[in-house]
């Protein structure tokens, strides 16, 4: 454990800040505890998807209080790491000044899922599980300790 007291600031960036980035924010906060400040934003804002809230609740995490934020709202924050969770956000990601570590993983967009309500929820759960594992590994390997 570091004695510097430095808290890593992490931004998770997606297209609409409604599903994937919200899920990642929830897991990064959960796995990092007090070691990081975690934010999420979109290059657009679509509101937090109720299905994302529901599948996170199934896993014991409450993201109901999360808000859908535009990247421009965080322009004054010096992030240590930016994680883009879709190719569109990576392509449209603004330039960050300073020593920002960039990470990218293109997760499927569960908001584009089709089928019955249960089939759609299964696709949300599958993406949630991928993001949970990514966030667990990220905290284990990349977070300042």
Q: What's the predicted TM-score (pTM) here?
A: 0.92
Q: What is the pLDDT of residues 50-93, one digit of tens each?
A: 999 999 999 999 999 999 999 999 988 999 999 999 988 888 77
Give the number of other CB atoms < 10 A from CB of residue 53. Answer: 19
Q: Which residues are catalytic?
A: 14, 86, 93
What ranges in the chain are assigned the alpha helix state H?
Answer: 20-32, 50-58, 87-92, 117-142
Q: Is pLDDT at 4 greater than 60 in this prediction?
A: no
Q: Say what the pLDDT of residue 145 is.
A: 57
Q: Say what the pLDDT of residue 92 is.
A: 78
Helix (H) or strand (E) holding 83: strand 81-84
Task: Return the CATH number of the domain spanning residue range 8-142.
Answer: 3.40.50.2300
Q: What is the pLDDT of residues 8-58, one digit of tens each?
A: 899 999 999 999 999 999 999 999 999 999 999 998 898 999 999 999 999
């Amino acid at each position: 454990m570091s004695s510097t007291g430095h808290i890593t600031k992490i931004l998770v960036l997606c297209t609409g800040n409604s599903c994937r980035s919200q899920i990642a924010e929830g897991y990064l906060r959960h796995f990092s505890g007090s070691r990081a400040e975690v934010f999420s934003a979109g290059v657009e804002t679509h509101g937090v998807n109720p299905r994302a809230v529901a599948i996170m609740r199934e896993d014991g995490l409450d993201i109901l209080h999360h808000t859908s934020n535009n990247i421009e709202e965080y322009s004054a924050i010096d992030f240590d790491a930016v994680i883009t969770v879709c190719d569109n956000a990576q392509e449209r990601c603004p330039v960050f000044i300073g020593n920002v570590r960039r990470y990218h993983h293109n997760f499927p967009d569960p908001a584009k899922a089709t089928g019955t309500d249960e089939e759609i929820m299964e696709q949300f759960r599958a993406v949630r599980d991928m993001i949970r594992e990514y966030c667990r590994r990220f905290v284990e390997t990349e977070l300042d300790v």
